[in-house]
Amino acid sequence: MKSDAVKKGPTRCAHRSLFYALGFGPEELEKPLIGICNSFNEVIPGHMHLKEITEAAKLGVAAAGGTPLEFPAIGVCDGIAMGHTGMKFSLASRELIADSIEAVATASGFDGLVLIPNCDKIVPGMLMAAARLNIPSVVVSGGAMLAGRFHGQDVSVSQCFEAAGKFAAGKISADEMAELEAHACPSCGSCAGLFTANTMNSLTEALGMGLPGNGTIPAAYTGARRLLAKRAGAVVMELVRKNICPRDILTREAFENAITTDMGIGGSSNTVLHLTAIAHEAGIEIPAPLFDEISRRTPYITKLSPAGKHHMQDLDEAGGISAVMNELAKKNLLHLDALTVTGKLGDRIKDAKIMRPDVIRSVDDPYRKEGGIAILSGNLCPDYAVVKASAVSEDMLVYEGKAKCYDSETAAIDAIMGGEIHDGDVVVIRYEGPKGGPGMQEMLNPTAAITGAGLKVGLITDGRFSGASQGACIGHISPEAMEGGPIALITDGDVISIDIPNRKLELKISDDELQKRKAAWKKPEPKIKTGYLARYAKLTTSASTGAIVQ
């Protein structure tokens, strides 16, 4: 066993003594040592219940013959971090999570891992660590928040962000906004729609690294979530006995399955960043065009919030991710021989059924014939850009407007709330990429304010968007402004053309004019010059390669 390095032989006398200090006896040191990474904290609603999930996972490990050892991981709540300097740390925290798990697991000599995340960057950070360490691992998440109820309708946190725009436009009162915010987030769990956290928890199933139900069983269904965690503890012991490691599961075929599922459910655009980064840790290259190639052939068969009215609890009732994948398999879109933590994918999903056809449509009657995410190219994004096409209304799929440029998210929000943005504009938010932000902030505040105000505008950025964003919002523009990409060269009044069906994003100026502007451009001073973010800005790569730290 790998853990023999910390417990076997005369030179490990001191090591054993330290384990005894923890309350472990010699008989427990004879068993595999399983690290249980618990990202519980009292800041993230999606994580406030993870102590119970962790205890259940530990029971599962112990019952199956292992010795569980719990250790922590950090987490940032994207909702609370949104719209201020804290959001610069969100994506950057992904690397801290992966690095810290690598450090603890290696230093402790663990034989396997149960990874317990729930929200946004914590899920991909843990999957990156699993791929990097390549010791038997299972991910079991905390589950989705239930939708709230407001005036007879299901709501979630996304309506709260949009309320700011409605309030500024005079569409709701302060009392109505206060009533909404009191009801939108009624339970523990990751925010109720198909936002980044729930997308990544769902794709953990599709990748094969989580058990069925991982992405959709609501957090408030405590019995079901605890049972899932106990089963995950038992499964990791089976993986240890069989020496099945993450890179046996995280193959090219697994990533293609995850991308296909992502397109079918219309997941968050952030998955392009995260799947690329996880694949990198597994030694696999996932080029941006692959996402579009798969999107072109994958029908979009669920329409969850923010694109539609359904939430994760509805998807769970409808049969969950297994039912989605079984439906997509009818078009031969999946690699059914791909290995999962519980065996082959085909065996896992073969009996799954659609229980609510109003939530999961058939592949013969999809919402759209193409998938939820589109990869754009053009003179504004030579290294690609990303849009969540499933959350764009039909009348905005092709759009042309005049640029209004802002060199930070804050400046753009002030302009939107101040009434400077009008129908027909294209809001340009730049110097918010991985290097320029630094940290590639999510732009939910401006997109929600635009939606709430009812404006018909486009928005482009070298930053990124929350999974809760909707509209003609194009992110991940690469190269970013801080690297002198074309987005840095736009001036107010320039015409920008968005053509999502034909995958084009163009700045309507001549090549000569673009080159003149490029020659005159000067790189600005970094926004942050000290601390972790300054180091991150120096080490991170482009969004087009996953914004990984090298």
Ranges of residues in the chain whose predicted pLDDT is under 70: none
The confidence score (pLDDT) of residue 470 equals 79
Structure tokens at 12: 């490990």
The confidence score (pLDDT) of residue 453 equals 84
Annotate 510-525 with three-state secondary structure. CHHHHHHHHHHCCCCC
How many angstroms separate the CA atoms of 365 and 3, rounded? Answer: 52
Question: The tokens 């029908």 sit on which residue?
Answer: 299
How many angstroms separate the CA atoms of 155 and 143, rounded? Answer: 17
The model carries a pTM of 0.96
The confidence score (pLDDT) of residue 142 equals 98
Segments in 359-440 forming alpha helices (H): 409-417
Per the DSSP assignment, residues forming a β-bridge with 154 are 149
How many angstroms separate the CA atoms of 122 and 50, rounded? Answer: 13
User: Any catalytic annotation for residue 466?
Assistant: yes
The confidence score (pLDDT) of residue 54 equals 98
The confidence score (pLDDT) of residue 164 equals 83
> Which of 93, 466, 469, 478 is labelled catalytic?
466
Residues 340-380 pLDDT 10s: 999 999 999 999 999 999 999 999 999 999 999 999 999 99
Residues 28-66 pLDDT 10s: 999 999 999 999 999 999 999 999 999 999 999 999 999
The confidence score (pLDDT) of residue 447 equals 86
Give residues with Cβ within 8 angstroms of 535, minimum separation 6: none
The confidence score (pLDDT) of residue 471 equals 82
User: Taking a C-beta distance cutoff of 8 angstroms, is the pair 84, 51 a contact?
Assistant: no
How far from the centroid of its chain's Cα atoms is residue 467's Cα? Answer: 8
How many angstroms separate the CA atoms of 103 and 97, rounded? Answer: 10
Cβ atoms within 10 Å, residue 206: 33
Angle between helix 444-453 and 409-417 (nearest 10): 10
Whether cis (ω within 30° of 0) applies to the bond prior to 479 is: yes
Question: The tokens 């995410």 sit on which residue?
Answer: 373
Give residues with Cβ within 8 angstroms of 264, minimum separation 6: 298, 299, 300, 301, 302, 324, 327, 328, 333, 371, 372
Q: Which helix (H) or strand (E) holds 403?
A: strand 398-406
What single-letter amino acid sits at 132?
R
